[in-house]
């Protein structure tokens, strides 16, 4: 597979960043984030995973040696409860707000940067094909305005055999691609779909950030190592552009809430930071209210009703 084209953070400037994203749909920035800041998040996460029995005893949790008997992934209930503990960590939420990442994002979205408040932690057990994320475009999941960008941040050095992300170079230019969803837990682009552009991949290290457009097709490589692959992905956009409010709330049935997320936090700085911004919801609150009464099937109505309650 073709290797990523990479840029050192020290060589990053506005034309370079814009040109990489415009032409390739991604930019791999080496050494954008200080390793100590990455380690802080990894340390907190691996403590949680160790307590959950996901890591082999006798090793430093930072080594991430996987306990194969604990292997699980979304939507397994065992996965969800541990994931929730990881999601609630303050250091996990702090990373997307890192000033170095914000500066890079300002170049792409302008000064009105909205960091979507729900980053996703990927806690990927090795040698579990069913846990490998298949080809998709984030726009399928985020909705709103396609001028939205993802930052994929490994929390440790991630060689190819540990399953880093790979992308189809230039695929954002072909627009939205149909995703199959029948009988699938997560919709994906069928492997029969002909995509324009080459798959590109390579080792991504702690401190590096892979940034890509919401229409760039990407997938994870399989984790063929003996360790968990741990990364975080988060999304950024101009807050005057359309935003799907689903990205701000917990509309599933799990009872998650921002209050529960924040319960153990030391600082208030990053709590509800988006609430004062003039956001352009799509669908609007009035449309969500309507959908909470008319959408089919009834589970969808319930989902919209939960969304509406949290937007009040
Ligand atoms: O890290 C992964 O396994 C998948 C990440 C992904 O699909 C994304 O960042 O959008």
Among 70-79, 82-91, 133-142, 180-189, which stretch is predicted with the lowest mean pLDDT? 180-189
As to burial, measured by CB atoms within 10 angstroms (0-12 exposed, 13-18 middle, 19+ buried), residue 175 is exposed
Q: Which ligand 1 atom is nearest residue 231's CA?
A: 1
Ligand 1, atom 3: nearest CA belongs to which residue?
220
Ligand 1, atom 8: nearest CA belongs to which residue?
233
Q: Which ligand 1 atom is nearest residue 218's CA?
A: 7
- Structure tokens, 137: 């475009």
Q: pLDDT tens, 39-78?
A: 999 999 999 999 999 999 999 999 999 999 999 999 899 9
Q: Among residues 138, 117, 124, 104, which one has the least CA distance to residue 226?
A: 124
- Structure tokens, 152: 């994929």
Helical axes 14-24 vs 99-109, angle rounded to 10° = 70
Please tell me if the CB atom of residue 152 comes closer than 6 angstroms to any atom of ligand 1. Answer: yes
pLDDT, residue 253, reads 87
Q: Tell me, in angstroms, the distance from the centre of ligand 1 to residue 165's CA.
A: 7
pLDDT, residue 71, reads 93
Q: Tell me, in angstroms, the distance from the centre of ligand 1 to residue 188's CA.
A: 12
Question: Is residue 194 scored above 90 in pLDDT?
Answer: no
Question: Is residue 152 scored above 80 in pLDDT?
Answer: yes
Q: Tell me, in angstroms, the distance from the centre of ligand 1 to residue 55's CA.
A: 22
Q: Among residues 30, 6, 2, which one has the least CA distance to residue 209?
A: 30
Q: Tell me, in angstroms, the distance from the centre of ligand 1 to residue 164's CA.
A: 9
Q: Which ligand 1 atom is nearest residue 136's CA?
A: 7
- Alpha-carbon distance 93 to 271, whole Å? 10
Q: Tell me, in angstroms, the distance from the centre of ligand 1 to residue 54's CA.
A: 21
Please tell me if the CB atom of residue 154 comes closer than 6 angstroms to any atom of ligand 1. Answer: no
Pick the CATH number of 2-244 from 3.30.230.70, 3.40.50.720, 2.60.120.620, 3.90.420.10: 2.60.120.620
Q: What's the predicted TM-score (pTM) here?
A: 0.97
Query: How many helices and strands, by DSSP H and E, does the chain display?
Result: 9, 13
3-state secondary structure 40-98: HHHHHHHHHHHHCCCECCCCCHHHCEECHHHCCCCCCHHHHHHHHHHHCCHHHHHHHHC
């Amino acid at each position: 597979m073709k290797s990523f084209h990479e840029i050192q953070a020290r060589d990053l400037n506005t034309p370079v960043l814009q040109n990489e994203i415009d032409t390739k749909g991604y930019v791999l920035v080496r050494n954008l984030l200080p390793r100590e800041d990455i380690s802080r998040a990894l340390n907190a996460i691996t403590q949680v995973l160790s307590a959950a029995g996901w890591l082999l005893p006798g090793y430093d949790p930072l080594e991430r040696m996987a306990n194969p008997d604990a292997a699980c992934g979304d939507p397994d209930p065992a996965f969800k409860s541990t994931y929730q503990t990881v999601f609630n960590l303050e250091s996990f939420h702090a990373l997307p707000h890192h000033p170095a990442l914000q500066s890079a994002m300002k170049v792409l979205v302008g000064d009105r940067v909205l960091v979507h408040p729900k980053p996703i932690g990927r806690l990927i057990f090795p040698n579990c094909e069913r846990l490998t994320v298949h080809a998709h475009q984030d726009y399928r999941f985020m909705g709103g305005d396609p001028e939205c960008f993802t930052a994929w941040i490994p929390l440790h050095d991630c060689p190819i055999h540990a399953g880093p992300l790979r992308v189809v170079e230039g695929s954002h230019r072909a627009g939205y691609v149909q995703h199959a969803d029948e009988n699938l837990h997560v919709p994906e682009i069928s492997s029969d779909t002909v995509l324009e552009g080459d798959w590109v991949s390579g080792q991504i290290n702690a401190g590096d950030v892979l940034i890509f457009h919401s229409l760039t097709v990407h997938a994870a490589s399989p984790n063929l190592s003996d360790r968990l692959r741990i990364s975080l992905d988060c999304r950024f956009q101009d807050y005057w552009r359309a935003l799907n409010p689903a990205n701000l709330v917990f509309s599933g049935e799990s009872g998650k809430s921002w209050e529960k997320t924040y319960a153990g936090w030391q600082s208030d700085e990053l709590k509800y930071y988006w609430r004062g911004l003039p956001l352009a919801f799509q669908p609007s609150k009035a449309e969500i209210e309507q959908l909470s009464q008319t959408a089919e099937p009834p589970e969808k109505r319930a989902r919209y009703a939960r969304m509406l309650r949290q937007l009040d």
